[in-house]
Structure 1
């Protein structure tokens, strides 16, 4: 009789089982503590429990042929996170930190989108709204699988990265994001992407409400909204929902692992 153990699930939320035993102790991953500087205080965090969420760095929001540009928004600011993300992401991957791309990608039939949500993006009913083809290339606005919902070419996605489609400003609303993070054992989240005051902030707020530790990566985040919206976002994150840092501080932390063993 074969009594070899088999792993079920994804570490650390995994069992090992055979015909006689189910080991449900869920062994922990080896801690990777680092000290990260933020704008309010230093954080001692565990990279083994950390992931980065990159929100809406997709063609519809960042490309000059995308939807926001079509409706008259200057999308130039949305390019600001590209260079710091390209410097940061390889280092995070090397440290074993999952990269999770959270892009707006609706169902083709829009059955999970309410009339009120559709009205926000097409208030007259005569414009180019959710699911409508872009005049420039025919891509369907914010539609899963379309060019419009794809990550911009300037940012590299790797096969091991994780992709989550979202259907509202918040990446947690009606998506599997929370389940994915809990299976991976992630409790600390870095936030990047656009727009800082809309989809990034609402996702960060929901993460805070769900009990995650939230860190906004300032130079890897941007908005096409007015400056006061950006300033209010930074204020509210620091005041209510988490911490603000930048990519250089994270790179410094990655290169200087904490060896105090938790001594204070």
Structure 2
């Protein structure tokens, strides 16, 4: 349909970050947005954030890490550990979305040719000549490990994905390295990040740490994260997050606050 001079046109990635053109005027003004405050408890005391400027970042809840026939399981990793966040996220995600919160699925998704993976990444994924590395096929073959567009890189079926959710692939432990995550978050006006998923001491912590270095407000939802590593490793991560990078809280406390907010509205 042909646009007339009086037809409003928006240019931008999000309603809070868009130019508008109307009757021949291109306006660079962004609308003033009313915050949606949410108060919940953390390990360090009460926290308040703006749901409209926040995102729940779900890290690596993928078939190759969480499915009994995935890459990790065939390497002998504990599926009890990697699947532990599932029930928490199944309860939290619908409540978070209903309150207007955005969801980021931050997942491993490598190139099929692996040309942008340095030797250290190749090594830690394989370890030996007989090992199965990134982009290679396991004995129970569901395709090359963690390649974009394959079964292994998909989010596990137990967690429902909504059309409005945002997907970002990574190819390092940190989700902020050599990809578009930071640009997407800033374009959406997101300043606060809540982290969940696996593994607490690897991709979750690396991504949270880089987020804090970039100036984001960071909250680690410790009961919605997990790792096969010894328990003391997670305790160390919780200590470091609270000391240096932000806050440690629980999905249970967040869910309680969301339920209370919805009952009051």
So what's the TM-score if we normalise by structure 1?
Answer: 0.93
Whole-angstrom CA distance in 2 between matches of 1:44 and 1:146: 39
Unpaired runs of at least 5, structure 1: 258-264
The one of 2, 13, 17 equivalent to 2:17 is 13
Aligned partners of 1:53 and 1:189 also within 8 Å: yes
Partner of 2:112: 108
Gap regions ≥5 residues in structure 2: none
Counterpart of 1:262? none
Runs of 4+ in 1 over 6 A off after TM superposition: none
Shift of 1:19: 6.9
SS at 1:36 equivalent: strand
Instruction: Report how many aligned residue pairs link the two structures.
Output: 257
Q: Deviations over 1:217-240 (max 9, x none)?
A: 111111111111111111111111
Contact 1:191 1:204 in 2 (8 A): yes
Deviates more, 1:3-12 or 1:32-41: 3-12
1:2 aligns with 2:5: yes
Specify the alignment match of 1:57 in structure 2: 61
More displaced 10-residue stretch of structure 1: 11-20 or 125-134: 11-20
Contact 1:61–1:69 under 8 Å retained in 2: yes
In the superposition, the TM-score normalised over structure 2's length comes to 0.93
Using the TM superposition, give the Cα deviation of residue 195 of structure 1 relative to its aligned residue in structure 2, in angstroms. Answer: 0.2
**Aligned twin of 1:117:** 121
The answer to whether residue 149 in structure 2 is matched with residue 145 in structure 1 is: yes
Contact 2:224–2:250, Cα closer than 8 Å, also in 1:
yes
User: Distance in 1 between the 2:171 and 2:32 partners?
Assistant: 33
- How far off its partner does 1:112 sit? 1.3
The equivalent of 1:97 in structure 2 is: 101
- Partners of 2:48 and 2:131 in 1: how far apart? 49
Q: Does the alignment pair 1:169 with 2:166?
A: no
Q: Which stretch shows the higher mean deviation, 146-155 or 28-37? A: 28-37
Shift of 1:98: 0.8
1 CA distance for matches of 2:114 and 2:25? 45
